[in-house]
Structures are given as C-alpha cells and as structure tokens.
C-alpha cells in the first residue's frame, strides 16, 4: 500500500502566515473613485426618510445605513445577487471600502441586505439610480447596459381559491361521479348536461380573460346556476 502524501506544505514555515493581509487600495480603482465622490450623507438622509414612511414603529435595532447603501450600490454597478454581494463585501477590499467597512470586521449578511432593499422598495431603487449609478456612468465607471438596481420580486404562479375555481372543481367531480353512478343519476346528468357545458365555458373564459385573481365573476356564476332546467 503506497504511503499517503502529507497534506499541506512539506517545508513548514518558521512563523505562521498571517490570515489578515495588509493591502493598499489604488486611488484610481473604480470603487474607490465612486466612494470618494458620492455624497453619502445625503443618501443616508434620503434613505432614512423613505424608511420612516414605511415603518409602523421604531422598534428594533436601527440599520447600518452607510454599509447597506454601499451594498446596494455594489449590486447596482456589478449586477450581482445578495449572497454574492455579501461574499464580495466580506473578502474584497474595494467592496469593503465602498461600504465604509475598512475599519471593522463586521459585514452585513445577505438577509440584512435583502430586507433593507425590500424596505426601501422602488423609492430606494430610484435613490441608488439617481445618486450613484448615474454618477458612475458619468465617470465612466459603469455601463448603462448592466447598471441596474431593479429589486422587483415577481409573484409565483400560485393558484388561489375563488368561485370560478371551485365551480370548475365541482363540475369535474360531478362528471367523475356520473361514470360510476346508477341509471337515475345518469338521467339527471343528461338533463343537466347543458348547464355543465355552459359552466365549463364560463370557467374557460375566466381563466383566459380575467385580469386578476379578484375578478371571480361571481354574478355571472350565480346567474348561470340559477337558470331553469
């Protein structure tokens, strides 16, 4: 059996290598230039106004506005998701400088950034675009084709119970029961076949042409079921 190769460097170092590297940031780095030219005080004041309008009370810890605004700025100019933004801020020196975190070990996690972005909403996206992205484009630090700050969340296609949906399920249940029922029930089904056909058509029209889940067309359904045989 061959001997296992030792893990790590076979020539140990006299002193353990530091895991806290000291690195300087160039003055012309895009994130450094952008950080030094943005009026962060104005951005914080505007963000606080938006936040005050949407909060129901002042409970909870106040957010680190400077850091979270820097995180949203990073996402806007680099077009990256929340988890990647957290990793960049934690380990990438220019990103930490952009967020004002070069003098601390703290880093906002992706849930903190996401919650802050959702709280600001469209107003916050406009804040980033007006105060940062446009300036970054003017300085030649970002491309308008990728410089976006759209935090819109699209609703999943989840079915909601409503009158038309319940009616469609009822019609299907009656048809399934008719296949196993006796002669008298089949006679009833034959007499009501016209109503079931009309009900199916009403459900089909709703699913094709309803503008929202609230447009249940309840009155039309009630009139349809109230027709004489």
Give CA–CA dist 142/132, Å, rounded: 10
Any idea which residue has 């929340």 for tokens? 82
> pTM for the whole thing?
0.54
Number of domains in the chain: 2
Instruction: Let me know: does 34 contact 98? Beta carbons within 8 Å.
Output: yes
Question: If you average pLDDT over residues 8-29, what whole number do you get?
Answer: 78
12 in any annotated domain:
no
Residue 61: pLDDT band by 50, 70, 90 thresholds? confident
Same domain, 134 and 167: no
More confident residue, 41 or 151: 41
pLDDT digits (tens, 9 = 90+) for 207-221: 665 555 454 444 554
Question: If you average pLDDT over residues 182-196, what whole number do you get?
Answer: 69
22 in any annotated domain:
no
Q: How high is the pLDDT of residue 193?
A: 74
Instruction: Let me know: does 181 contact 157? Beta carbons within 8 Å.
Output: no
Runs of H (alpha helix) within 92-212: 93-98, 110-128, 134-138, 163-178, 183-191, 193-209
Can you give the residue range of the structural domain that contains 60? 30-138
Residue 58: pLDDT band by 50, 70, 90 thresholds? low
Question: If you average pLDDT over residues 161-178, what whole number do you get?
Answer: 67
6 in any annotated domain:
no
Domain C-terminal end among 122, 138, 154? 138
Give CA–CA dist 95/107, Å, rounded: 11
Any idea which residue has 């045989």 for tokens? 229
Give CA–CA dist 184/23, Å, rounded: 88
Q: How many C-beta atoms surround the C-beta of residue 45 within 10 A?
A: 11
């Amino acid at each position: 059996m061959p001997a296992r190769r030792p893990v790590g460097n076979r020539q140990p170092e006299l002193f353990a290598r530091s895991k806290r590297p000291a690195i300087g940031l160039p003055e012309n780095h895009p994130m450094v230039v952008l950080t030094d030219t943005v009026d962060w005080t104005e951005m914080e004041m505007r963000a606080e106004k938006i936040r005050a309008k949407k909060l129901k009370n002042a409970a909870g810890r106040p957010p680190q506005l400077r850091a979270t605004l820097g995180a949203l700025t990073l996402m806007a100019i680099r077009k990256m998701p929340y988890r990647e933004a957290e990793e960049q801020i934690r380990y990438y020196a220019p990103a930490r400088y952009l967020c004002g975190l070069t003098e601390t070990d703290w880093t906002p996690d992706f849930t903190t950034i996401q919650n802050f972005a959702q709280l600001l909403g469209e107003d916050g996206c406009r804040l980033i675009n007006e105060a940062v992205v446009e300036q970054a484009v003017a300085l030649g630090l970002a491309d308008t084709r990728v410089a976006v700050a759209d935090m819109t969340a699209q609703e999943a296609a989840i079915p909601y119970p409503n009158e038309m949906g319940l009616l469609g399920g009822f019609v299907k249940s009656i048809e399934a029961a008719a296949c196993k029922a006796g002669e008298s029930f089949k006679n009833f089904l034959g007499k009501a076949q016209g109503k079931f056909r009309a009900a199916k058509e009403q459900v089909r029209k709703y699913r094709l042409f309803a503008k929202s889940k609230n447009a249940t067309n309840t009155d039309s359904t009630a009139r349809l079921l109230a027709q004489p045989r």
